[in-house]
């Protein structure tokens, strides 16, 4: 436990040292690819400004001093020492920090939240709930709804910049690696060779995404390991041969001399120096694939020393070579001995491909998380590996990234403009992490606000300095990530805002259970064989789209299930806690509610396994509910009344038969805005009777034992469920269209009426996101007037 920041953090399991070493080795290819290749373009971007490389070496020594202290303070001190400890059940990244904050303070804007979600085993709190009332910052955040929106916007900005980095990093990495050809070709030749070769490599890289990386992933770690060893060896060679005293540049005073001599140009050149931190965020974002100790070991023992030696070696060479040909510029390859230049070029290209692959996979991951939290339009997520968790591929995003990468390469055509654009994206993500981390220190770790403020001011001031240096280069390329971020932010905010408003519309227009029960007598309702799965975002009541369906076509299936598939603010939900099942009306009506919960990093099931587990969960619930009725005291009238009193009671149904099931009472008043205010009303009725074993198979058999606790009605209900399952399943989904109210503002009409409907028509439908087979799909039209 960290004595300064780690109070309240969960204890970490000590893993065998062999496992730690193996994970540290594997993390090289996944986590450190982007960070390891930054020496290819840092000095080249730094000295792209109007800085003359003088005989006194103040410029190169100052740049080296900035690089050393930047790598020491941000990746080593901030991320490895502090930020990596703020994991969310082992997961890291922007959404992990946001999830932690939302669990400790009622600031989430997600709809259909329930008190039952707080009973999840992964809903881990960093401090006791009784301590929550002592925080004035928490009360202030919860009181002002505008701060909830502002917090989400900050998270969205960080997400947009990560996606923007997914466009810029592959372009600058591959381009910088291929640009080593300029030392072997004439100026005219390399201008016509570097761009086509870079574009060809990028097309090849994005074309391979469909196949996943698990087939060639075992090569990533050896490539990065070889690159780090090669870079550090060349750096050590240059230090010994050209300037053994280059270590004196690590003195912070050289930074002040650098800024004094270069003035505004030196300040602007900081936008190139910050590129040495590119990829630092990946240490935190990829925490779920490895362990804290493995990432810490790999960085401190290999990556950090190799980077320092590499930068020092370049500085040592440049300190003795002041009259370089302008066509060569000041780059990585000029300091590579000519005898090994071609092998180093090939290795650098391979390392740049690995680094680009890491950021592309990270872009897919963060878009998938955004989609789970209703912050991004629906896209098709393909899981490329059944064995390796988290390896996904998004076709639409992949080809858009490829087109944008090629456009950046062809449009900018030099490292200077690419570095300006990439630097702004990188430093913005780090500023967002600093802001969120300050809240985690206060709200989750229960540390003093002054300590959080000190963290924010110390690291925020360093990052703000680099941010200002990048922002000043707006016309020099920094406009690109800002433009991409504005477009993505508009898309994400419009989608999220309209999704929330649609949920509020559904809540306002839902119908009561009494209306559903009385409707059968008025319309002559017909029950047809089979199971009808009505998908809705509501966790209580009958959705308006179903009422519209039955009033126009007075027939529905013999077994009716209202299914709500929702995401919760935890990375993973255990299979044993995934389903919440309850009755809608008396058992004779054969209507149920099933709430399926996923974490923001969970893999959604395919429709066959989902349908099978859903039916098995219903059968298990029927048996457990029978045990509950048998345990109730009183006669038949009291038993019937209990069903109406327990209308909103849901039972956790898991795949582990030895698990004790909890009946969690859910009151509709806890929904949405009041989700965390009524945790005292959880009805904890423990049903620890004989466990029920349900075999995993498509056709399941209902055992007919006649025990005193099971009456004929329960057996009849189970047999009807079996017959309905054999008859087939229909998936009933709403097909929505959104309109604005008369008199709405022009901005609202453009955002909701035009923007959202355009996104809805051009993104994947809910049937694709839920993996519904087209032959079993039934869509019900629904117009939302917002």
- Transcribe 335-351 into DSSP letters: GS-GGGHHHHHHHHHHH
Can you give the pLDDT at residue 386? 67
Q: Helix, strand, coil: what percent of the chain each, to 5?
A: 65, 10, 25
Q: What is the dihedral sign for C-alpha 616, 618, 623, 628?
A: positive
Using a pLDDT cut of 90, give the percent of the chain over it.
30
pLDDT over 90 at 88, yes or no: no
Average of per-residue pLDDT values in the chain: 81
Distance CA 542, CA 64 (A): 65
Can you give the pLDDT at residue 783? 87
Report angle CA 394, 397, 399 to the nearest 5 degrees: 105
pLDDT over 80 at 670, yes or no: no
Note the Cα 625 to chain centre separation in Å: 37
Task: Round to the nearest angstrom and report the end-to-end CA distance of the chain.
Answer: 50
With left for phi above 0 and alpha for psi between -120 and 50, is residue 736 left, alpha or beta? Answer: beta
What is the mean predicted confidence (pLDDT) over 205-210?
87
What is the mean predicted confidence (pLDDT) over 233-243?
94
Distance CA 735, CA 713 (A): 37
Closest to 646 measured CA to CA, from 667, 630, 677: 667
Can you give the pLDDT at residue 645? 38
Name, in order, each residue with C-beta under 8 angstroms of 213's C-beta and a sequence gap of 6 or more.
220, 357, 361, 384, 391
Cβ contact 161:429 at 8 Å? yes
Contacts 24+ apart (CB under 8 A), 741-749: 741/785, 741/786
Can you give the pLDDT at residue 488? 94
Q: What are phi and psi of 687, to 5 degrees?
A: -110, 85
> Could you tell me which residue, 633 or 82, shows the higher pLDDT?
82
Using a pLDDT cut of 70, give the percent of the chain over it.
81
Write the pLDDT tens digit of every residue in 679-709.
Answer: 333 332 233 333 333 333 333 444 444 445 4
Cβ contact 79:280 at 8 Å? yes
> Could you tell me which residue, 116 or 458, shows the higher pLDDT?
458
Can you give the pLDDT at residue 671? 38
Cβ contact 385:214 at 8 Å? yes
Distance CA 118, CA 125 (A): 10
Q: 51-55, 325-329, 417-421 — which is least confidently predicted?
A: 325-329
Write the pLDDT tens digit of every residue in 634-650.
Answer: 444 444 444 433 445 67
Q: 127-131, 170-174, 306-310 — which is least confidently predicted?
A: 127-131
Confidence of residue 297 (pLDDT cuts 50, 70, 90): very high
Name, in order, each residue with C-beta under 8 angstroms of 291's C-beta and a sequence gap of 6 or more.
12, 15, 20, 23, 90
* Angle between helical axes of 304-318 and 58-71 (0-180°, round to 10): 180
Q: What is the dihedral sign for C-alpha 357, 359, 365, 367?
A: negative
Can you give the pLDDT at residue 238? 94
pLDDT over 80 at 170, yes or no: yes
Cβ contact 465:121 at 8 Å? no
What is the mean predicted confidence (pLDDT) over 383-401?
79
Distance CA 595, CA 537 (A): 9
Q: 133-142, 457-466, 473-482 — which is least confidently predicted?
A: 133-142
DSSP output for 659-693: SPEEEEE--GGGSGGGTTT-GGG--EEEE-SS---
Burial of 315 (0-12, 13-18, 19+ CB in 10 A): buried
Q: What are phi and psi of 572, to 5 degrees?
A: -140, 145
What is the mean predicted confidence (pLDDT) over 647-660?
55
Distance CA 74, CA 549 (A): 57
Question: Two tokens at 221?
Answer: 């770690």
pLDDT over 70 at 535, yes or no: yes
Name, in order, each residue with C-beta under 8 angstroms of 474's C-beta and a sequence gap of 6 or more.
482
Closest to 418 measured CA to CA, from 363, 477, 332: 477
Out of 18-22, 300-304, 565-569, 747-751, the most confident range is: 300-304
Can you give the pLDDT at residue 230? 95
Distance CA 541, CA 37 (A): 55
DSSP output for 15-51: --HHHHHHHHHHHHHHTSHHHHTGGGTHHHHHTTSS-
Distance CA 593, CA 595 (A): 7
What is the mean predicted confidence (pLDDT) over 705-729?
77
What is the mean predicted confidence (pLDDT) over 754-770?
83
Q: What is the CA radius of gyration of the chain?
A: 29
In the block, tokens 């390392």 appear at 351
Confidence of residue 14 (pLDDT cuts 50, 70, 90): low
What is the mean predicted confidence (pLDDT) over 746-771?
85
Q: 406-415, 462-471, 655-664 — which is least confidently predicted?
A: 655-664
What is the mean predicted confidence (pLDDT) over 623-632?
73
> Could you tell me which residue, 274 or 632, shows the higher pLDDT?
274
Confidence of residue 414 (pLDDT cuts 50, 70, 90): confident
What is the mean predicted confidence (pLDDT) over 214-240?
88
Which helix (H) or strand (E) segment is 779 a member of? Answer: strand 777-785
Write the pLDDT tens digit of every residue in 422-456.
Answer: 999 999 999 999 999 999 999 888 888 899 999 99
Confidence of residue 779 (pLDDT cuts 50, 70, 90): confident
In the block, tokens 């291929």 appear at 178
Sorted by where each begins, the domain ranges of the chain are: 37-110+137-497, 510-630+711-785
pLDDT over 70 at 667, yes or no: no
CATH architecture of structural domain 37-110+137-497: Up-down Bundle (1.20)
Cβ contact 583:615 at 8 Å? no
Confidence of residue 668 (pLDDT cuts 50, 70, 90): very low
pLDDT over 70 at 565, yes or no: yes
HEC string of 441-500 equals HHHHCCCCHHHHHHHHHHHHHHHHHHHHHHHCCHHHCCHHHHHHHHHHHHHHHHHHHHHH
Out of 383-392, 652-661, 684-693, 732-741, the most confident range is: 732-741
Q: 164-173, 241-250, 768-777 — which is least confidently predicted?
A: 768-777
Can you give the pLDDT at residue 607? 67
What is the pTM for the complete model shown? 0.84
Can you give the pLDDT at residue 389? 62
Closest to 713 measured CA to CA, from 643, 785, 615: 643
Can you give the pLDDT at residue 127? 60
Q: 125-129, 505-509, 583-587 — which is least confidently predicted?
A: 125-129
Q: Other C-beta atoms within 10 Å of 404: how many?
A: 19
What is the mean predicted confidence (pLDDT) over 250-263?
90
Determine how β-strand 392-393 pairs with β-strand 526-535. unpaired
Burial of 263 (0-12, 13-18, 19+ CB in 10 A): exposed
Distance CA 181, CA 334 (A): 11
Can you give the pLDDT at residue 162? 92
Which helix (H) or strand (E) segment is 398 a member of? Answer: helix 395-412
Confidence of residue 7 (pLDDT cuts 50, 70, 90): very low
Closest to 221 measured CA to CA, from 294, 153, 292, 270: 294
């Amino acid at each position: 436990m960290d004595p300064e920041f780690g109070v309240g953090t969960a204890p970490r399991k000590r893993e065998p040292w062999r496992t730690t070493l193996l994970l540290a080795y594997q993390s090289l290819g996944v986590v450190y690819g982007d960070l390891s290749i930054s020496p290819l373009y840092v000095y080249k971007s730094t000295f792209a400004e109007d800085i003359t490389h003088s005989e006194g070496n103040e410029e190169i020594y100052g740049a080296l001093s900035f690089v050393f202290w930047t790598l020491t303070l941000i990746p080593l001190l901030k991320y490895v020492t502090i930020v990596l400890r703020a994991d969310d059940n082992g997961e890291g990244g922007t959404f992990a920090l946001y999830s932690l904050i939302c669990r400790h303070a009622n600031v989430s804007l997600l709809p259909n939240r329930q008190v039952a979600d707080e009973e999840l085993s992964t809903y881990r709190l960093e401090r006791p709930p009784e301590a929550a009332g002592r925080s004035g910052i928490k009360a202030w955040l919860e009181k002002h709804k505008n701060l909830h929106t502002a917090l989400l916007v900050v998270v969205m900005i960080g997400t947009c910049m990560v996606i923007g980095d997914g466009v810029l990093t592959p372009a600058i990495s591959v381009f910088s690696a291929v640009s080593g050809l300029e030392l072997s070709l004439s100026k005219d030749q390399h201008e016509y060779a570097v761009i086509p070769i870079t574009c060809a490599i990028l097309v090849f890289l994005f074309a391979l995404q469909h196949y996943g990386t698990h087939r060639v992933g075992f090569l990533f770690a050896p490539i990065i390991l070889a690159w780090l060893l090669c870079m550090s060896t060349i750096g050590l060679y240059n230090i010994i041969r050209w300037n053994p005293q280059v270590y004196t540049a690590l003195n912070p005073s050289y930074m002040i001399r650098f800024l004094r001599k270069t003035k505004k140009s030196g300040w602007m050149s900081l936008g190139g120096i910050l590129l040495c931190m590119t990829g630092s965020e990946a240490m935190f974002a990829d925490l779920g694939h490895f362990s804290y100790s493995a990432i810490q070991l790999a960085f401190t023992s290999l990556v950090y020393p190799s980077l320092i030696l590499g930068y020092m070696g370049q500085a040592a060479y440049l300190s003795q070579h002041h009259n370089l040909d302008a066509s060569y510029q000041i780059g990585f390859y000029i300091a590579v001995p000519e005898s090994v230049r071609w092998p180093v070029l090939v290795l650098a290209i391979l390392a740049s491909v690995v680094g680009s692959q890491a950021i592309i996979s990270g872009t897919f991951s963060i878009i998938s998380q955004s989609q789970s939290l209703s912050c991004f339009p629906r896209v098709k997520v393909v899981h490329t590996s059944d064995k390796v968790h988290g390896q996904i591929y998004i076709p639409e995003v992949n080809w858009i990234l490829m087109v944008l990468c090629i456009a950046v390469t062809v449009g900018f055509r030099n490292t200077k403009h690419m570095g300006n654009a990439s630097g702004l994206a990188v430093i913005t993500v780090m500023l967002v992490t600093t802001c969120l981390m300050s809240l985690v220190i206060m709200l989750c770790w229960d540390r003093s606000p002054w300590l959080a403020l000190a963290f924010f001011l110390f690291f925020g001031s360093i990052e703000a300095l680099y941010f200002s240096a990048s922002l000043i280069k707006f016309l020099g390329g920094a406009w690109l990530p800002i433009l991409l971020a504005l477009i993505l932010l508009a898309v994400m905010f419009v989608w999220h805002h309209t999704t929330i408003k649609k949920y509020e519309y559904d809540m306002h227009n839902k119908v009561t259970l009494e209306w559903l029960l009385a409707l059968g007598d008025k319309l002559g309702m017909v029950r047809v064989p089979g199971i009808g799965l009505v998908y809705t975002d509501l966790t209580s009541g009958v959705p308006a789209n179903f009422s519209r369906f039955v009033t126009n076509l007075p027939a529905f299936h013999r077994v009716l299930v209202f299914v709500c598939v929702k995401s919760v603010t935890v990375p993973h939900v255990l299979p044993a806690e995934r389903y919440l099942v309850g009755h809608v009306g008396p058992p004779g009506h054969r209507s149920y509610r099933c709430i399926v919960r996923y974490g923001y990093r969970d893999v959604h099931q395919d429709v066959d396994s989902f349908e099978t587990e859903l039916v098995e969960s219903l059968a298990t619930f029927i048996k457990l509910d029978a045990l509950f009725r048998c345990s109730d005291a009183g006669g038949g009238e009291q038993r019937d009344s209990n069903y109406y009193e327990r209308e909103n009671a849901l039972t956790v149904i898991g795949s582990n038969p030895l698990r004790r099931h909890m009946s969690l009472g859910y009151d509709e008043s806890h929904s949405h805005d009041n989700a965390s205010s009524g945790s005292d009303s959880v009805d904890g009725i423990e049903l620890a009777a004989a466990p029920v074993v349900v075999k995993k198979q498509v056709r399941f058999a209902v055992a007919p034992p006649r025990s005193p606790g099971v009456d004929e009605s329960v057996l009849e209900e189970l047999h009807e469920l079996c017959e309905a399952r054999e008859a087939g399943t229909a998936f009933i989904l709403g097909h929505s269209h959104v309109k604005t109210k008369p008199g709405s503002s022009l901005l609202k009409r453009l955002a909701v009426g035009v923007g959202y409907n355009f996104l809805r028509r051009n993104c994947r439908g809910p049937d694709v996101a839920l993996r519904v087979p087209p032959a079993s799909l039934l869509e019900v039209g629904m117009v939302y007037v917002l």
